Chain A
């Protein structure tokens, strides 16, 4: 096209496309707004919504699967083995509870809401709820303590475990001595005495080393009694 035709064509294009654009925005003046006036009107979240974590501590068997699955290590669980004479009950899914849980902390500020902790739980006690309004003024309040054991309960449980372990160790020692006496008579190699009873969750080392490195649990003493 010659330059003059191009010139007029451009002007015509400019005017016509501007008019089309203005037509679109004018029509949108009469489209009702899509804004929801939060907080007066709240949207109902779908059932699979992944927001704040909740732990039903009555159903927790202390298996630590959720803590191991967490990619940012925001769950800290400590357990104390229970002795055979204690009956901790069963969960709603039928699992027998064998561990006391003195500490079940979730640092919800660290949580990345990935939901990786939910599938491994055998009793489905950790779930992601649809609560998303949980801001706090103090960052320490974002560490949720789900455990319901009081310091008295914890002391009692530790006592019982210590006693049971001492009794078991004494029994083992006595049995080993008797076996050693018998075996030295038969000149057999004796098994070393005092093999410590293997406990799945020894209380001394159940503190997750990763938790010390990165958590915001700067409180030196007892965690606050808020949940």
Chain B
């Protein structure tokens, strides 16, 4: 560290570059694992085997997929808007990747320890909407426009329940900084916000129904943020071929795909940090420490990702108006009630 300080003005820049590179490396590794996991879990739920021939039980398949996508021809239709078409996947990825800056992976590592962590994440993930709209419009394809319009409406309306649920966790823990929120939940599973946080027992028992419902609603809203079934109308395979993705092939498509998986982990990470104790160990002081913290955080995140995969392969998809109904008329009113309840209990 001293050597870096001696580099003068280059020191902080180098540190910043390293801190930026770590989440990208994590995202790439995680995407490979999740690609494989999704296929295998889907297959075994359907009583079949998935990849078995590339590597042992198909473990090298994600590499093969990426190699294939790299080699594909980069086609841009002549009627498409070239600048927007090329820019769209990057905008979507940036929207997701920027959110990783405020996620506490462990007690020793957080990209940027800002006091507005959760607020920043919600704000920056709206860039994804812009990217999808760009992609759909620039493709010059009626099906893509359909998908993009649906997606924009969906993501914008599900940001409300997400923000309200985050608000409830913030009310209990008192800080928007995700690192502080996680530190608040240290000490074991009973201190997790989803079970009421570190409050006296009577208050916790009263808070319990509200926090459980809030966590469920946050999880559901985050499914909608990521465009996964049952909210995957923008890429409804059986209706719109591939939605806003239709005209994309090769590495651009890979970028969209990578952004979707990164987004899956991002929303899981936010839910884990706010409600499930982040990097703190559920066993209190056993298995506690910075490296253990990383392990716990990734484990909890992967459990939520597995839950998302499980739901995807079980449920049919909702129609656009039903989606809107769910967000505005079911999730938001329930959250208002929860905010009122939690506020009352905290004050009393």
Do A and B come into direct contact in the complex, CB within 8 Å?
yes
Chain A residues, CB < 8 A from B330: 11
Is A22 among interface residues, defined by CB-CB distance under 8 A? yes
Stretch at the interface among B151-159, B263-271, B307-315: B307-315
Chain A residues, CB < 8 A from B41: 29
Is B2 among interface residues, defined by CB-CB distance under 8 A? no
Is B285 among interface residues, defined by CB-CB distance under 8 A? no
Is A35 among interface residues, defined by CB-CB distance under 8 A? yes
The distance from the CB of A15 to the nearest CB of chain B, in whole angstroms, is: 9
The listed residue (A22, A26, A34) touching B47 by CB distance below 8 A is A34
Asked if A22 contacts B48 (CB within 8 A), the reply is no
Asked if A22 contacts B52 (CB within 8 A), the reply is no
Is B43 among interface residues, defined by CB-CB distance under 8 A? yes
Asked if B314 contacts A33 (CB within 8 A), the reply is no
Instruction: Knowing A11-B330, A18-B315, A21-B315, say if A33 contacts B43 (CB, 8 Å).
Output: yes
Is A195 among interface residues, defined by CB-CB distance under 8 A? no
A residues 25-61 in Cβ contact with B at 8 Å: 25-26, 28-29, 31-35, 37
Residue of A nearest to B307 (CB): A22
Chain B residues, CB < 8 A from A21: 314-315
The listed residue (B49, B310, B313, B315) touching A33 by CB distance below 8 A is B49
Asked if A37 contacts B314 (CB within 8 A), the reply is no
The distance from the CB of B321 to the nearest CB of chain A, in whole angstroms, is: 15
Given the complex of chains A and B, what is the CA–CA distance between A29 and B43 in angstroms?
A: 9
Asked if A35 contacts B45 (CB within 8 A), the reply is no
Chain B residues, CB < 8 A from A25: 45, 310, 313-314
The listed residue (B47, B49, B311, B315) touching A28 by CB distance below 8 A is B47
The distance from the CB of B52 to the nearest CB of chain A, in whole angstroms, is: 6
Chain A residues, CB < 8 A from B46: 28
Given the complex of chains A and B, what is the CA–CA distance between A61 and B313 in angstroms?
A: 60
Instruction: Knowing A11-B330, A26-B310, say if A31 contacts B315 (CB, 8 Å).
Output: no
The distance from the CB of A35 to the nearest CB of chain B, in whole angstroms, is: 5
Residue among A21, A24, A33 with most chain B CB within 10 A: A33
Asked if A33 contacts B45 (CB within 8 A), the reply is no
Interface string of A68-94 (1 = CB under 8 A from B): 000000000000000000000000000
Given the complex of chains A and B, what is the CA–CA distance between A22 and B52 in angstroms?
A: 26
The distance from the CB of B305 to the nearest CB of chain A, in whole angstroms, is: 15
Interface string of B301-324 (1 = CB under 8 A from A): 000000000110111000000000
Chain A residues, CB < 8 A from B313: 25
Residue of B nearest to A32 (CB): B47
Asked if A37 contacts B48 (CB within 8 A), the reply is no
Given the complex of chains A and B, what is the CA–CA distance between A18 and B230 in angstroms?
A: 11
Asked if B49 contacts A37 (CB within 8 A), the reply is yes
Determine the interface band of chain B, counting residues with CB < 8 A from chain A. 10 to 19
Chain A residues, CB < 8 A from B311: 18, 22
Chain B residues, CB < 8 A from A31: 47
Asked if A28 contacts B48 (CB within 8 A), the reply is no
Interface string of A1-34 (1 = CB under 8 A from B): 0000000000100000010011011101101111
Asked if A28 contacts B44 (CB within 8 A), the reply is yes
B residues 36-70 in Cβ contact with A at 8 Å: 41, 43-49, 52
The distance from the CB of A127 to the nearest CB of chain B, in whole angstroms, is: 34
Chain A residues, CB < 8 A from B310: 22, 25-26
Residue among B41, B47, B330 with most chain A CB within 10 A: B47
Asked if B52 contacts A29 (CB within 8 A), the reply is no
Residue of B nearest to A20 (CB): B314
The distance from the CB of B308 to the nearest CB of chain A, in whole angstroms, is: 12
Residue of B nearest to A22 (CB): B314
The distance from the CB of A41 to the nearest CB of chain B, in whole angstroms, is: 11
The distance from the CB of B67 to the nearest CB of chain A, in whole angstroms, is: 24
Given the complex of chains A and B, what is the CA–CA distance between A35 and B52 in angstroms?
A: 11
Given the complex of chains A and B, what is the CA–CA distance between A33 and B45 in angstroms?
A: 9
Asked if A35 contacts B48 (CB within 8 A), the reply is yes
Asked if A34 contacts B48 (CB within 8 A), the reply is yes
Chain B residues, CB < 8 A from A32: 47
The distance from the CB of B44 to the nearest CB of chain A, in whole angstroms, is: 5
Chain B residues, CB < 8 A from A26: 45, 310
Chain B residues, CB < 8 A from A33: 43-44, 47-49
Given the complex of chains A and B, what is the CA–CA distance between A22 and B314 in angstroms?
A: 6
Query: Contact residues of A with B, CB < 8 Å?
Result: 11, 18, 21-22, 24-26, 28-29, 31-35, 37
Other A-B contacts than A18-B311, A21-B314, 16 sampled, CB-CB below 8 A, are A18-B314, A22-B314, A25-B313, A26-B310, A28-B45, A28-B47, A29-B41, A29-B44, A29-B45, A31-B47, A33-B44, A33-B48, A33-B49, A34-B47, A35-B48, A35-B49
Q: What are the 6 A-B residue pairs with the smallest beta carbon separation, nearest first?
A: A25-B45, A35-B49, A33-B49, A25-B314, A21-B314, A35-B48
Supply 11 A–B pairs (Cβ within 8 Å), ascending by A.
A18-B311, A21-B314, A25-B310, A26-B45, A29-B45, A31-B47, A32-B47, A33-B43, A33-B44, A35-B48, A37-B49
